[in-house]
Every structure is written in C-alpha cells, then in structure tokens.
Structure 1
Amino acid sequence: MKLATLRTAEKGTTAALVTGSDSYLALPASDVGALLAQPQWRTIVEKVATAGGNAISGVAFAPLLPRAGKVICCGLNYGDHIQEMGRDLPEFPTLFAKYADTLTGPADTIHVHGSVKVDWEAELAVVVGSELFRADEDEARNAIAGYTVANDVSMRDWQNRTLQWFQGKAFDRTTPVGPVMLTADEADGDFEVRGYVNGELVQHGNTSTLVFGPAKLLSYISQFTILRPGDLVLTGTPGGVGMGMTPPRFLNDGDVLTTEIDGIGRLENHFRIHAPVPANV
C-alpha cells in the first residue's frame, strides 16, 4: 500500500490511502505520522481499503511527515559517494539531525536565502512504524513502516564553515519528502535511487551498496535515542553530488531538481536562489 499526506481545499492537511494515480481514500488522521502513532494503524488502513471509504479530490501532496518528531540523516553511506568525498569507509554511521521545519512537499518550490552553493543529495528515507529503543537489527527491520523519497538539499558554503554540518543541512523548508510512503510489506528488495538537474541524470545508485542498510541504521540510532512512529531516517546519497564534481557544480535560480525511486515515486522541485546574506553573518 501507499500512504500520503495531502493538502485538501476543504480540510487542510490529511492522511490518505493511495489507490491509483489520482485516487485517494481518506484515512482518520491529519497526516501519515499521526496515523502511524495509532497502534492499530495497519488495521485502520486495511478497513478503509476494504470498505472503500470517502474519496478525496482536489488535492496536492504535502510533506509526508510534517510533524516528524525526529529527522535523522546518515552521511557518507554509499561507497561511491564516500570515494568522491575523499574519505575512507566508516566504521560507524556519520549522523546528523534536522528539524521537521526543514521538510517540504514533493512538488513545492524551494526558496533558498543566503547560500550560493546549493547542492543535491537524492536519498531513500525510512519511516519508523513502532517504538524502538536499544533494538537489534531484526527488531528494527520489523519496526519499519515503509519507505519514501527524500533529497537532503545541502548549503555547502554554510556546511563547510565549521566541522559541524548542521547549519548547512537544516535550512527551513528545503528537504522535500514524499510523495508517498510505500509500506514495508510491499517493498521488494533494494531500490534504485536517481537524481536529475533540469532533466540531466546526475545521480544513480542502488541501496544494495549502502554501507549501513535501513535496519542496521535504525538499530544503531536506537542505541542512544528512542525512535517513535512517524520518525524519519534518511539513509544517505549515492555519488554524483555537485560538490564532488570537477569543477564543483551547484543549483542556480530557476533549476528543477528531480528525485525518484522506482516503486515509490518522484519529487520535482523548482528552486529560487535568493541574494546571499553578508559575509560576516
């Protein structure tokens, strides 16, 4: 099954079951995260799917998890990306966090203020479906609600100001997520992840080459912080980011960034790059 968070003209943001290319059934939750917080969410979805429920029309996709409690990202997790960044394979995951304010919709225009080195990072993201704390890999695998598409858009000039990445990764409304969550029971093996700039393929990777796969990542994270339903974990990006090119390449005002994963869907975001802030800020 595929679940989405929709913006509707009448009720605002709401969760929905995707039953076709343009067909949605209303679910009793304000968004997918709120749905997952209900212990019997799978039963709820199955009942709506069986009964038919109320059809929703006149919609647009919202961020899948607009109020995610935790958004945790793994950097340097594909072998080719690690090599293009000139680093060794890591012994432990390289982790950083975002806020829910960072998330935006799969077709939203992304406005960037204060950066002239805006980079792309196409990623598979994992949605947590049940509480995890100090879990082993099997427990973590069983706690995965599903998978979605994300792009960890990065402001490299801010990221490289210090050794800490946070300030270059957490600009408000710059991380598109969606358009849907593919439930884990329908995921068939590994995923092909692709990124395009103005239609040009710049990234292509398969999640089989992740150093730390989804279950291992969730298990590792749960050793130091509790994960709850509706939390989001970005698994890292394959090679082909702009900073790794010779010469480096970054997004320009008016560019279109497309991120797609077979079997889940695609993000298509237009970019508006606004004037940078003064150098001393």
Structure 2
Amino acid sequence: MTELGRVLRDGPFSTALAVAVERSGLTLDRLRERLAERGVTVSRTTLSYWRSGRSRPERAGSLDAVTALEDVLGLPRASLLVLLGPRRARGRWLDHPQGTLTRHTLWPDAGPMLDHLAAPREGEVVTRSVHDVLRLGPERSERALRVRLVVEASAEQCHRLPVFYQVDSPERDAPRLARVHFGGRGGRSVYDHRTGLMVAEVLFDRPLRRGELAVVDYELEFPPGGELCTYHRRFFRPVREHVIVVEFGPRPPARCHRFTQRVPGGPERPDGEVWIGGTGAAQSVWTDLPPGITGLRWDWS
C-alpha cells in the first residue's frame, strides 16, 4: 500500500492532506487558485493550518472546500471528509461515538435543504434501530417505503427529525411523505430535482427529553419511475439493528445480495447472498452496525 493509501485509510486528516498536496506538486498558492476556479474561496493561511493540523475544517463552507480539494488533488470522493469525524466539542457535547460520520459526508448535497428546514443540529436525535419495508410496483420501481425507527434524544427538548431519500433518476417527480402512522406528524419537505434528493421532517408528538427513546413510523410514496436494482440506508452513528425487507411481487429478481459501504461513492463490500422467498420478498438483518451504509442489490436478469 502506498503512503497516500495508508494515510487516507488511517488518517489523521492533516497528514493525509499534506501527503496528497505533496504528491500533486501544487504549491498552496496554486492550490488556492485551483479552488477559486471552482468557485471555492479558501485562504492560503487556512490551507496551511489544515495541512499542519493547527486547525481543521468544521463549518459547512469549509466542508464544501474539502470536497473541492478532493477533486483538485485527484482523490476518491469523501476520502478526506471521512477522516474529519465528528466536530470538536463546543458547549454541550452530543452523542458522538468513535467513527461518527457527518451529515455532509453521507449527504453532501443536503446542506442548503437542511438550512431551509432549519434542521436540528447533528446528534440531537440519534437513530438506534431501523426497519425498512420497500414495496416495488409492476414496473419494478419504488411504490412505497414504510420505515419504523427507534430514536433517542441526545439533547433537551428535541422536536423534529429530518428524513432523507434519494431517487435514482433526478428527473422523476418528488417522493412524498404520505403519512406518519405514529410517533409524530409530517412537516415540511424539500426536493432537489438536480440530485433527486428529498429531505422531509417528522414532528414528534411531544418534545423528547435527553435520553428518552421514541418510536416513529412513517411512509413514503413514489410516482412511477424506472427499474430499481438497489436500496440502502446511510447511518451517521452506530446502530443496534437495521432490517431491510424488499417486496418484489410476483416477478422477483434472479439474485440478491447484501453490501456495505463506508461512504457514498466508496467501494462496495459484498456481505453475502440473500434468499428470495416464495412470497417474492427478500429480507436482511444487520446488528451492531458501525457508521456507514448497508443495503441490498439485485439482478433482474
């Protein structure tokens, strides 16, 4: 393994950035110019501080700059972002266990949408378990997704929970938070036709106290779309349990398997075949998951 590969795997962020810059042959001034060409303004001093470890990117604009740095330096997407981990503590420290990922790492396009919704701070509401039941239509695209969450409040007076879904074809109409079966009610939603990402909010029945657990059950509905061949969920923090059930209907796919990823765009790690039962459904259960992505992928042919 090369030195760059090792530090991108093990970190820290400052060392990985320093090695990547050295490999590129770019001076900090030239690097700053290349970022400016992409509409990203970062001072030479800031780049120097990041490289030396004197400071690190934390604000949304700085995280956007790190994404641009990855592009300029020819690095895999999110390879530097994932090394940043959680923000440093300021004031009351929320639930940030080892390996925690940021919203920006898992949903890099969601920042403006979360700002529009005035979403709660990261870590205020922590997901402990998730049950996903996805139903496909005869055209083999999503028809409905029912989600049951167990969440825990890591701050006082938690009122809302943001939920995410990204369709494969951005030209489709937006999915819709059709109903919240229990645990709260639907709030506002935002959809980005450029990326196919929807962010909606669930408003809890009552504010949650720190350490309080609650169950939320909601359902998304989808307009007609193209053939779907995968479903996954992204986790910012460790999760005790994740269940996926995909109801394919009378014409199920030929094969189905599990996979995990550390970050979007990263390598998929196969995690075993999944049996498709006589009812035309596949199911999978993960327990004690680290932050990252778990999902199913299937082959219709």
Larger radius of gyration: 2
The two structures have a TM-score, normalised by structure 1, of 0.29
Structure with more contact order per residue of length (Cα contacts < 8 Å, sep ≥ 6): 1
